[in-house]
Amino acid sequence: MSSEWPRPHLAHLFSQRLRLHYVDWGNVDAPLLVLVHGGRDHCRNWDWLAEELRRDWHIIAPDLRGHGDSEWSRMGPT
């Protein structure tokens, strides 16, 4: 990764009382691009692609519920 770009920002938000994790690759002046991972994956699977696209896009990559650093549903996996 080029030294001119900072590392991605790791963040959390709360939705329906669950703590959900996401990675924000910055570039807030660019159009938003949300990268959603597959069934047995997590948000950092997109790092390689986000590094390539971050000059032209504001990339957000969430960990879906129960994946990566996001919480499971309190009612169990669904």
Block mean pLDDT (10 aa), the chain, length 78: 69 90 93 93 92 95 86 72
- In the block, tokens 């994790």 appear at 21
SS3 state of residue 53: helix
pLDDT at 4: 60
Does residue 70 sit within a domain?
no
Does residue 75 form part of some domain? Answer: no
Is 26 among the domain residues?
yes
Q: Is residue 71 part of a domain?
A: no
CA distance 71 to 68: 8
0.85 cut: is pTM over it?
no
The residue assigned the tokens 């938003």 is: 32
Domain count, the chain: 1
Helix (H) or strand (E) holding 15: strand 9-15
Cα–chain-centroid distance for residue 36? 8
